[in-house]
Amino acid sequence: MAEAVTPGICTTGWRRGGVHAPTYNISIKPATALLVGCTTKTKSITSFSTDSLRTRGRARRPTMSLNAAAAEMETEMETLRKGIAEFYDESSGVWENIWGDHMHHGFYEPAADVSISDHRAAQIRMIEESLRFASFSPITTTEKPKNIVDVGCGIGGSSRYLARKYGAKLSRAITLSSPVQAQRAQQLADAQGLNGKVSFEVADALNQPFPEGKFDLVWSMESGEHMPDKKKFVNELVRVAAPGGRIIIVTWCHRDLSPSEESLRQEEKDLLNKICSAYYLPAWCSTADYVKLLDSLSMEDIKSADWSDHVAPFWPAVIKSALTWKGITSLLRSGWKTIRGAMVMPLMIEGYKKGVIKFAIITCRKPAS
Ligand SMILES: C[S@@+](CC[C@H](N)C(=O)[O-])C[C@H]1O[C@@H](n2cnc3c(N)ncnc32)[C@H](O)[C@@H]1O
């Protein structure tokens, strides 16, 4: 049934020895179920490889019970969550030191000639352009979101910006990184007079600690790429959205497949694999896959755009800043995960240039009733 809804999508709903793991009840064609960019991930780096899981699942097919399969999958998920948390625990201070509190791309006019001082403004522009794209800006007072959630909040740059902009009652924000990101985000909020207005906690986006229908703005800025199960991720965003609420997903995708393609080309997968390992990205999907998922949940006003040209100056600028004295010494003090992340930055530029990586925005509205 899900074949019609999520062709080509990468999820953790892989086939395990011919059965589907119970908590991820999604059926996908083997060819299109390729966890693109993760299929040859080096186990020594993250020990999270969905491909190895599928392979192991097949090898164990005659004996593996559903419970054992589910238990093993949960162990793999825990390993991934731990890897993401440690990556951000280790690297967030370095990033903040050099780039400030927004851990996302900037939005630039295509082919703009930008200096290093423009980048913070470009990161704010990314937030504003995203709101505008989702028809949240300009906005009347009555349309202002009162309850906002920031899913995958980093050190809370967007959470605080949105809380201030809209004077929201109480914004909530979640990250996997504890203690570093959640604590630092709260510290900054308190210092900026947002105590009691924004609250940060450690929680999984795939299992959010919020009741159904709570938020009139559901915001996910560059966290979707870390999600091992895009279907569950989107389901959770939709679940916590209030009737009539908006969902904004800004994320890294792979290019859309043409109707005749079942997966990316091998050299494209090879490129994404190298990026996956360093940044803990378990499963890439396309913008079209996100649109299909939202459509399958009867969301309204679904819109998407490819903003790859608008982010082109970003990675060259990050590399330039990493090569300064401050950048090099900060990196050397950080740790191996951060250094490895820095080493694959040129591959992001290559991915964009080759058109394999797309910087996408996908938005929609939950039906009012
Ligand atoms: C690149 S940072 C983006 C931070 C922030 N949105 C910003 O724009 O500054 C990715 C964030 O996603 C979070 N994240 C990744 N997987 C997550 C998950 N399963 N649940 C909650 N947060 C997650 C990480 O902890 C990190 O805070």
* 3-state percent helix, strand, coil for the chain, nearest multiple of 5: 45, 15, 40
How many alpha carbons lie under 13 Å from residue 4 in its C-beta half-sphere? 3
**Residue 183 and residue 110: Cα distance in Å, rounded?**
36
- Give the nearest ligand 1 atom to 223 CA: 12
Q: What is the mean pLDDT of residues 148-158?
A: 97
The number of beta carbons lying within 10 Å of the beta carbon of residue 323 is: 11
- Find out whether the beta carbon of 254 lies less than 6 Å from any atom of ligand 1: no
What single-letter amino acid sits at 274?
A: K
Q: Which residues pair with 252 in a beta bridge?
A: 359
Structural contact between residues 105 and 158, judged by C-beta atoms closer than 8 angstroms: no
Rounded to the nearest angstrom, the distance between the alpha carbon of 201 and the centre of ligand 1 is: 12
The string of DSSP letters for 211-237 reads -TT-EEEEEEES-GGG-S-HHHHHHHH
Q: Does the pLDDT value for residue 35 go beyond 50? A: no
Pocket test for ligand 1, best of 171, 198, 226, 251 (most atoms within 8 A of CB): 226
- Give the nearest ligand 1 atom to 150 CA: 6
Backbone Cα Rg of the chain: 20
pTM, two decimal places: 0.84
Return the residue whose CA atom lies nearest to atom 2 of ligand 1. 154
Kindly report the CA angle at 226 between 220 and 230, in degrees rounded to 5?
75
- Find out whether the beta carbon of 104 lies less than 6 Å from any atom of ligand 1: yes
The pLDDT score that the predictor gives to residue 334 is 81
Rounded to the nearest angstrom, the distance between the alpha carbon of 92 and the centre of ligand 1 is: 11
Mean pLDDT of the chain: 81
**Residue 151 and residue 205: Cα distance in Å, rounded?**
6
Domains recognised in the chain with CATH numbers: 92-255+283-309+358-366 (3.40.50.150)
Closest CA to 257 of 28, 5, 7: 7
Q: What is the mean pLDDT of residues 264-274?
A: 95
- Find out whether the beta carbon of 88 lies less than 6 Å from any atom of ligand 1: yes
The pLDDT score that the predictor gives to residue 62 is 57
- The residue that leads in pLDDT, 278 or 13, is 278
Rounded to the nearest angstrom, the distance between the alpha carbon of 222 and the centre of ligand 1 is: 7
- Give the nearest ligand 1 atom to 177 CA: 25
Task: Quick: pLDDT tens for 212-255.
Answer: 999 999 999 999 999 999 999 999 999 999 999 999 999 999 99
Query: Which residues are CB-contacts of 336 (< 8 A; sequence separation ≥ 6)?
Result: none
Alpha helices for the chain (secondary structure H): 43-46, 50-59, 66-99, 119-133, 157-166, 180-191, 230-240, 266-279, 287-296, 308-311, 314-322, 325-334, 336-343, 345-353
Closest CA to 173 of 188, 194, 151: 151
- Find out whether the beta carbon of 102 lies less than 6 Å from any atom of ligand 1: yes
- Find out whether the beta carbon of 226 lies less than 6 Å from any atom of ligand 1: yes
- Find out whether the beta carbon of 341 lies less than 6 Å from any atom of ligand 1: no
Return the residue whose CA atom lies nearest to atom 13 of ligand 1. 152
Q: What is the mean pLDDT of residues 278-303?
A: 96
Distance of CA 61 to the CA centre of its chain: 32
**pLDDT bracket for residue 281 (50, 70, 90):** very high
The pLDDT score that the predictor gives to residue 140 is 66
- Give me the percent of the chain exceeding a pLDDT of 90: 59
Task: Quick: pLDDT tens for 48-102.
Answer: 333 333 333 444 455 678 888 888 888 989 999 999 999 999 889 888 988 899 9
Pocket test for ligand 1, best of 149, 175, 188 (most atoms within 8 A of CB): 175
